[in-house]
Amino acid sequence: MPHPYVLLSAAVSLDGRLDDTGPERLLLSGPADFDRVDEVRASADAILVGAGTIRADNPRLLVNSADRRAARVAAGRPAYPLKVTVSGSGELDPAARFWHTGGEKVLYTTDRGAERAQALGLAADVVPLGPALDWRRLLEHLHDERGVARLMVEGGGLVHTQLLQQGLADELQLVLAPLLVGDPDAPRLFGPGAYQRGRLRLVETRRIEDVVLLRYEPTAPGTGAVPSAADRHWLALACELAERCPPSRTAFSVGAVVVAADGTELARGYSREGGDPVVHAEEAALAKADPADPRLVTATVYSSLEPCARRASRPAPCARLILDAGVRRVVTAWREPDTFVPGADGSGVLAAAGAEVLVLAEYEERAKAPNRHLLS
Ligand SMILES: NC(=O)c1ccc[n+]([C@@H]2O[C@H](COP(=O)([O-])OP(=O)(O)OC[C@H]3O[C@@H](n4cnc5c(N)ncnc54)[C@H](OP(=O)(O)O)[C@@H]3O)[C@@H](O)[C@H]2O)c1
Ligand SMILES: [Zn+2]
């Protein structure tokens, strides 16, 4: 199911706190960074905060720059992003600024919370998600029902922690402020719990006055049938690699990446790589991995096209090579059409051997792009 791109944004002290415990909101960054945040908001279709942040900070969550709002309108978008909040209890102040400034508002809540929110008369579209709040359903709903492609999440800690732990964050934008809070009861950016394994990818550092912006991307594949945001990044890379294949009239252009469970890239490849006229992407990638690497058994293979089930050019098709390498998780964008091998069912071969195969159809068009000439 497609989700919006999820960007977690926060300012944090050197001791990892989002705020102190005083009545006023602790200012962690300065005007230049507030302006940067304004720009990020202007790029988003929706901004989400937890009910705790509404209660603690009473934020407006606006795009403050008139120029940025005008640019949004000129591009056919609403002047302000949709404002989204989550609450289990529905216990929110109907007079909070959140409801009375900016564009449209939506509250995601539980069935019980929805009753309370209706009774309070909150000025928002109230969406109950069942007895408990399910973040995947929330993201699907935002994408499918509200057309949200890019979601900026501005805290607080409980919300950030869940999205990161559930593998739903595409990007983190953290601003590190040169001060220490020290109060053990001050809210933490990320709380305890089970996070995905491995290191995040550092994609940017930027000095802004006396704070530092750190941008990270989670890299760990999802588990089993449950996709992570990083699954989409790796599959996008496989689609990019497919664009590098030497052109052919008789074979598909495919890209593949092999990634360990902690998000370490083990190998990558693409069709006809290195002057071999028949090599397939998964085959080229697996040939570069060490067959004795113990990480292969928990690795994921990303392939822009479903691994092949039969082929004339080599004794073993890619589905078999993947299984023989010990890999039991495959993420692909596109089921193999009948162009060359009618009835090919690489996914079936993999699944019959106990492998999990995920098809993220939102990447199908990208996977097909370098193969258009074969599909007419
Ligand atoms: N420095 C920064 O960049 C920054 C940014 C934002 C916030 N903050 C600070 O962070 C603090 C607030 O953070 P917080 O962690 O207390 O609150 P929060 O994450 O903003 O909101 C937590 C609330 O959201 C609802 N919620 C979240 N996940 C839920 C789930 N799975 N099911 C049901 N309800 C769920 C619950 O609302 P109900 O209680 O209504 O059920 C929960 O109490 C404030 O001090 C604020 O100043 C700092
Ligand atoms: Zn193949």
List the residue whose alpha carbon is closest to atom 8 of ligand 1: 156
- C-beta of residue 52 within 8 angstroms of C-beta of residue 156: yes
| Nearest of 15, 10, 60, 287 to residue 171 by alpha carbon | 10
What count of other Cβ atoms lies within 10 Å of the Cβ of residue 24? Answer: 8
**Ligand 1 pocket test, candidate residues 19, 116, 136, 152, most atoms within 8 A of CB:** 19
Sorted by where each starts, the structural domains of the chain and their CATH numbers stand as 5-217 (3.40.430.10), 229-375 (3.40.140.10)
The pTM for the full model equals 0.95
Q: Mean pLDDT across the chain, nearest whole number?
A: 96
Pick the more confident residue, 337 or 185. 185
Residue nearest to atom 41 of ligand 1 (CA): 88
Relative to beta strand 171-177, strand 150-153 is unpaired
Q: Which residue has the tokens 């230049």?
A: 32
Share of the chain above pLDDT 90, in %: 93
Cα–Cα distance measured from residue 17 to residue 15, given in angstroms and rounded to the nearest whole number = 6
Distance 309 CA to ligand 1 centre (A): 48
Strand order through the sheet with 82-87:
125-128, 105-109, 82-87, 46-50, 150-153, 5-13, 171-177, 211-217, 201-208
Helices 31-43 and 66-74: crossing angle in degrees, nearest 10, is 10
In this prediction, residues 114-136 reach a mean pLDDT of 96
Q: How far apart are the CA of 51 and the centre of ligand 1, in A?
A: 5
pLDDT of residue 2: 86
> Which residue matches tokens 């590098």?
244
- For residue 108, give the amino acid letter: Y
Probe target for ligand 1 pocket from 8, 158, 168, with the most ligand atoms within 8 Å of CB? 158
What is the total residue count of the chain? 376
Residues 275, 290 contacting (CB under 8 angstroms): no
**Rounded mean pLDDT of 309-335?**
95
Between the CA of 92 and the centroid of ligand 1 the distance, in Å, is: 12
Helices marked H in the chain: 31-43, 51-57, 66-74, 97-100, 111-120, 135-146, 157-165, 229-242, 281-288, 318-324, 346-352, 364-368, 372-375
**215 has pLDDT over 80:** yes
What lines the ligand 1 site, CB under 6 Å? 10-11, 18-19, 25, 28, 49-53, 56-57, 86-89, 91, 133, 154-159, 162, 187
Per-residue confidence band for 268, with pLDDT thresholds at 50, 70 and 90: very high
Q: Which ligand 1 atom lies nearest to the CA of residue 53?
A: 20
Tens-digit pLDDT profile for residues 70-108: 999 999 999 999 999 999 999 999 999 999 999 999 999
- pLDDT given at position 314: 87
How much is the pLDDT for 1? 74
The amino acid at 40? V
pLDDT(341) > 90: no
Residue 183's pLDDT is what?
A: 96
Q: Residue 225 in contact with residue 291, Cβ under 8 Å?
A: no
Give, using CA atoms, the residue closest to atom 30 of ligand 1.
133
* pLDDT, tens digit, 9 for 90 and up, residues 3-37: 999 999 999 999 999 999 998 899 999 999 999 99
pLDDT at residue 344, as a whole number: 84
Upstream peptide bond of 156 is cis (omega within 30 degrees of 0): yes
